[in-house]
A and B are shown apart, each in its own frame.
Chain A
């Protein structure tokens, strides 16, 4: 199950890219992350997508929200610490305005984290999502990735609600300890 597994179903990031295309999610904003790098590179390599980095995660969420109101689906990619900057905008924009902002978080802070700041901020993520009643899924298995992504994007759009995909190190391999 590590990040570089090349099975018939593809890697996690190939599956993600393909589901985003099938679901017509054309706009991708991100604050870069090492684990997300192959996905970001695959998206930049595909002219289907409009993709660019933003200075701050709130900004990326605002752009995705505006694009959805304008008729284009989008997703914000970030890491755990970046998610922790979002509660205000989720509570005042995505949720009350009923805008299906799609989010994907590369999970730091667990399963071998070496940065205490990451391990502490990671503990705020699920409580924030739960307190706002935002649908979220922790993705741990390659064989479940397509189902979770495809079904949840369909649900987010149909119910006009945000959704957050948390990429576990069990799926991606995570960021490994380096002295």
Chain B
């Protein structure tokens, strides 16, 4: 992919950024009612926090998992299959995606054009006390994604590069995978835990109800 040539090839070469800041930048770039599926843990919490508007309302096209660790990508793919005209983003942590690496191959084999995967990689199970994940000791999610058949996979070199990659993912055919190295910053809020309400708001947000 020529337009990915300027992005770093390895995790080690990517700048360590902040999850909330990146999530805010991503949400700010959403313009077409794109669906966002938040995995569990702090990735989920910061999506909730970043989706709060000045008037206290929140974007309704987000789905927040509660458990089912590792399933943000499959859920996002299901939404993407059902609504091919809508862009869908799976927002997942490194510990979560490591549980369901086969899903990357499924996305690749279907060539799901309207799907982007964003990985927030701090190399740790942060919510359980910061125990190291395999990405801290050598597993490279972008390299795994490429080897799974997701050619349009890249590490974000810095914040500006992250925004450039999100813009690409929102306008050009996917599937995309964007790797983000992040620090151990705490999340800004905690997601409400009412599954039926989360699901109903999401379905209304994407026009099913």
Q: Chain A: residues with CB nearer than 8 A to chain B?
A: 27, 50, 52, 54-56, 58-72, 74, 88-89, 91-93, 96-99
Contacts and interface: CB of A to CB of B under 8 A. Distances in A.
A71 B199 CA distance: 12
B67 interface: yes
A89 B71 contact: yes
Interface in B188-205: 195-196, 198-199, 202-203
A27 B103 contact: no
Contacts of B76: 66
A96 B81 contact: no
Interface residues of B, number: 37
B149 interface: no
Where chain A touches its partner, the secondary structure class is helix
Given A52-B110, A97-B199, A58 B37 contact: no
Given A66-B79, A98-B196, A93 B208 contact: no
A87 B79 CA distance: 22
Given A52-B109, A91-B67, A93-B65, A62 B102 contact: no
Given A69-B206, A93-B67, 10 more contacts: A58-B70, A58-B74, A62-B68, A62-B77, A63-B77, A66-B74, A66-B82, A69-B78, A70-B80, A93-B75
Interface in B88-110: 100, 102-103, 105-106, 109-110
B75 A66 contact: yes
A74 B110 CA distance: 16
Contact of B68 (A55, A56, A72, A93): A93
B10 interface: no
Contacts of B110: 52
A75 B22 CA distance: 36
B4 interface: no
Contacts of B80: 66, 70
A60, A67, A72, A74 pick with most chain B CB within 10 angstroms: A67
B102 A70 contact: no
A66 B89 CA distance: 12
Interface string B97-132: 000101101100110000000000000000000000
B42 interface: no
Where chain B touches its partner, the secondary structure class is helix
Contacts of A63: 74-75, 77-78, 81, 106
Contact of B78 (A55, A66, A88, A98): A66
A92 B66 contact: yes
A70 B88 CA distance: 11
Interface string B7-35: 00000000000000000000000000001
13 contacts: A55-B103, A58-B70, A63-B78, A65-B71, A66-B79, A69-B75, A69-B206, A70-B78, A70-B81, A88-B67, A92-B67, A92-B68, A97-B195
A97 B196 contact: yes
A60 B69 CA distance: 14
Nearest to A54: B106
A161 to B, nearest CB: 12
Nearest to B90: A66
B63 interface: yes
A54, A60, A97, A99 pick with most chain B CB within 10 angstroms: A97
A140 B66 CA distance: 36
Contacts of A71: 82-83, 208
Nearest to B199: A97
A74 B78 contact: yes
A150 B170 CA distance: 40
A62 B196 CA distance: 16
